[in-house]
Amino acid sequence: SDGGATWSAKVRVNDDPPGFDNALPEIEVDPSGRLHAAWYDRRDDPVCGTRAHTYWTFSDDGGGSFAPARAVSSQASTWQFVGTGIPNIGDHLALEANGNQVLVLWADTRDGLPNVYGARIEPDPTGTVVGGFAAELAAGGAVRLRWWVREAAGLRGFRVLRYEGRAGEFTPLQAEYQPAGRAGEYVMEDRSVVAGALYQYQLEVSWSSGAVEWEGPVEVQVPGLAWRGLGLQATPNPFTEQVELQLAGLGGSQAWVGVYDVAGHLVARPRPGPLGGDTMSMVWDGRDRQGRPVPVGVYLVEARAGFQRVVTRLVRIR
């Protein structure tokens, strides 16, 4: 506030554990003076850290402190997408206040191509202590439920309720209430879902006074065949001139396939063949994106379909 002569103390905005890279933050102030921040966050991909969710948080005290961050994207993807003749499209994220609403737009490659996804956020009023209830697909055949708590005082606990389809009666997933002993993010997983089914979820918030509030409902469509697991096979391997890549367990999803060298640079994008229900095959001719034969050595093939990812190793010999 004095032309740069002095600066306020730094405040960390992202609240994920150490070891994850976050990138490309945007900030915005809405008409009420609330400060909003959004960024790409890799906390939900602990194995490799290549996929990111778009996270959002806000501050009601001018940036002195921030509410627990939450994902506004329903599925993680990589924004570092490089295709033939296409530059890296990932360094884009937009955040805009529109009255009481906040609009977030981000680069997303969940469908195998660069696309723009967005979310409209209506932040909870300052007095609301529980919010951000969301449901998303999780690896291993589960649905992950998330919500966050600004202040735990006076809260008894939570129960998640569910029904299958678009109409029905909510029933609790657990008989007992999950205790509300802290502020921050709460996460639980529903592993009783059935492949191909549609589910509605609702969060029951119980207060020590006996009052009950509700968050949701939110909806999740479980893929039909994806729970069998994405599989990738290369034949022959090692190879000399060309190799056939066979994908299984797609669950009807389109696949994105890339070949990388051991330094992590994208070498080639084999063209996917026709999708035959749960399987797909394609041939890589051993050439890079400029049509030049690649040298002998070790290469990594990454395949992504839906929310699944698999990597296998290739060896080219003379």
pLDDT tens-digit readout, 26-84: 999 887 778 899 999 888 876 666 788 899 988 877 888 888 888 888 778 876 655 55
- Mean predicted confidence (pLDDT) in 140-144: 75
Quick check: helix, strand or coil at residue 40?
A: strand
Residue type, 64: G
- At 293, is the pLDDT very low, low, confident or very high (cuts 50, 70, 90)? very high
- Mean predicted confidence (pLDDT) in 308-318: 83
Instruction: Please check the confidence at residue 232 and state whether its pLDDT lies above 90.
Output: no
- Mean predicted confidence (pLDDT) in 220-234: 68
Task: Pick from 181-195, 206-220, 286-300 the range whose average pLDDT is largest.
Answer: 286-300
pLDDT of residue 127: 47
Instruction: Please check the confidence at residue 227 and state whether its pLDDT lies above 50.
Output: no
pLDDT of residue 37: 94
pLDDT of residue 126: 42
pLDDT of residue 105: 93
How much is the pTM? 0.42
Q: How far apart are CA 44 and CA 56, in angstroms?
A: 14
What is the DSSP pairing of strand 142-149 with strand 184-190?
A: antiparallel
- Mean predicted confidence (pLDDT) in 117-124: 76
pLDDT of residue 125: 44
pLDDT of residue 90: 60
Q: How far apart are CA 222 and CA 224, in angstroms?
A: 6
Q: For residues 257 and 270, is the Cβ–Cβ distance under 8 A?
A: yes
What is the DSSP pairing of strand 178-179 with strand 297-305?
A: unpaired
